[in-house]
Structure 1
Amino acid sequence: MFGAQTPGGGMYPGFGQAGPTPISPEVQQWFQAVDKDHSGQINWEELQSALINGQGEHFSPQACKLMIGMFDTDKSGTIGVTEFQLLYNYINQWLAVFKNYDRNQSGSIEEEELGLAFQQMGFRFSPEFIKFLIARSDLKDHKLMSVDQFIVACVQIQRLTEQFRQRDKEMKGVISLPFEEFLSIAINCTT
Structure 2
Amino acid sequence: VDKDRSCVISDTELQQALSNGTWTPFNPVTVRSIISMFDRENKGGVNFNEFAGVWKYITDWQNIFRTYDGDNSGFIDKNELKQALTGFGYRLSDQFYNTLIEKFDRQRKGQVAFDDFIQCCIVLQRLTDVFRRYDTDQDGW
Query: Size of the alignment, in residue pairs?
Result: 141
1:129 alignment partner, one of 78, 81, 96: 96
In the alignment, structure 1 residue 73 sits paired with structure 2 residue 40? yes
CA distance in 2, matches of 1:173, 1:90: 30
Root-mean-square deviation over aligned CA pairs: 1.7
Question: Is the 8 Å Cα contact of residues 138 and 144 (structure 1) preserved in structure 2?
Answer: yes
Matches within 5 A, 1:1-191: 34-174=1-141
Give how far 1:86 is off: 2.3
Give how far 1:131 is off: 0.8
Question: Is the 8 Å Cα contact of residues 106 and 112 (structure 2) preserved in structure 1?
Answer: no
1:122-149 superposed Cα distances (whole Å, 9 cap, x missing partner) = 2122211111011112255451110011
**CA 1:40–1:54 in structure 2 vs 1: closer, same or farther (change >3 Å)?**
same
The one-letter amino acid paired with 1:80 is N
CA distance in 2, matches of 1:164, 1:156: 12
**CA 1:163–1:134 in structure 2 vs 1: closer, same or farther (change >3 Å)?**
same
Gaps in structure 1 of 5+ consecutive residues: 1-33, 175-191
Percent sequence identity is 38
TM-score, length basis structure 1: 0.67
TM-score, length basis structure 2: 0.88
The one-letter amino acid paired with 1:133 is L
